[in-house]
Amino acid sequence: MAYKIIVDSCTDFTGSMKEDKHFQLAPLTLQIGDKTIIDDDTFNQKEFLKIVAESPISPKSSCPSPEAYMKLYGGKEDVYVVTLSANLSGSYNSAVLGRKLYLEEHPQKNIEVFNSCSASVGQTLIAKKIQEYAQTVKDFHEVVSLVKVFKEKLSTKFVLENLDTFRKSGRLTGIKAILTSVLNIKPVMAGTPEGTICILDQARGIQKALILMVNLIVQDVQKPEERTLAIAHCNNYNRALLVEDEILKRIPFKNSFVVDTAGVSSMYAGDGGIIVSY
């Protein structure tokens, strides 16, 4: 059966995914003061980071509307949708409402919406796994079941250069933000199974924090020979390669890739941030 995979724009595409017509993008909108930026293929990361750095106001994002998702659901293909964690964005609820409305008029259509409970390359890995199963398993409902199992085993960890976006948005208290800045403390954070964010540990300085993250991955990864290592970076490719090298020296992942963050991931990760999923 023909298929398409719709992802919101917190999904960070590999080069091959950008060229593959099976993948379709539902862009979020980024707002910084009076500036509005569509998170699609026109997104300019360096310009965005400059605007964010100069603004005292936290950037915000708006999810695609149910109507936007409904337009993407059209056609004869089976439809699989991957969204940013429902605990971080309204994108999942919007996609689900769009599905409900679309099915009222097209009840035979196969549409499944996956709450990634993750972000960035976590979503990328889910989307790629959907394609793998859609090309081999074929049956829609079996693909959905297999992807749900895969999603439950997915892990995401990240280290940020600075916590400005978290501070500006109120996700950190002022005292904690000041301490992390003055003392150069970098927390290692992770996605929870529920799709929220937690702090696993912390280190002084970005390099120590990245190595700490690598150590934590070594401790919890299971069956790496069956897994893909995915790394997203915000404007620091060399740092991403360093992390990839440190991980692969110690863990025999089946394969790996590195991607640049698009708009939503850049907003959350900030300049220099590193996100790892596996």
Q: How confident is the prediction along the chain (278 residues), in pLDDT tens digits per residue?
A: 799 999 999 999 999 999 999 999 999 999 999 999 999 999 999 999 999 989 888 899 999 999 999 999 999 999 999 999 999 999 999 999 999 999 999 999 999 999 999 999 999 999 999 999 999 998 999 999 999 999 999 999 999 987 766 665 555 554 455 455 667 889 999 999 999 988 899 999 999 999 999 999 999 999 999 999 999 999 999 999 999 999 999 999 999 999 999 999 999 999 999 999 99
pTM of this structure: 0.93
Task: Considering the chain, tell me which residue range(s) the CATH 3.30.1180.10 domain(s) occupy.
Answer: 156-277
Match 């600075």 to its residue by tokens.
162
Widest pairwise Cα distance in the chain: 58
Cβ atoms of residues 253 and 229 within 8 Å: yes
Closest CA to 251 of 216, 230, 232, 225: 225
CATH number of 156-277: 3.30.1180.10
Give the span between the Cα atoms of 18 and 29, in whole angstroms.
19
What pLDDT, on the 0 to 100 scale, is given for residue 173? Answer: 53
What pLDDT, on the 0 to 100 scale, is given for residue 175? Answer: 42
Give the span between the Cα atoms of 240 and 251, in whole angstroms.
16
User: Which residues, in sequence order, are CB contacts of 53 under 8 Å at separation 6+?
Assistant: 271
Closest CA to 35 of 8, 57, 9: 57
The 8-class DSSP code of residue 65 comes to: P
89: amino acid identity, one letter: S
Instruction: Name beta bridge partners: 5.
Output: 23, 80
Statement: 3-28+63-152 belongs to CATH 3.40.640.10: no
Helix or strand or coil: residue 128?
Answer: helix
H or E, element range at 3? strand 3-8
Closest CA to 152 of 124, 120, 192, 197: 192
What pLDDT, on the 0 to 100 scale, is given for residue 178? Answer: 47
Task: Considering the chain, tell me which residue range(s) the CATH 3.40.50.10440 domain(s) occupy.
Answer: 3-28+63-152
What pLDDT, on the 0 to 100 scale, is given for residue 11? Answer: 98
Q: Tell me how crowded residue 197 is: count the other CB atoms within 10 A of its CB.
A: 17
Cβ atoms of residues 187 and 206 within 8 Å: no
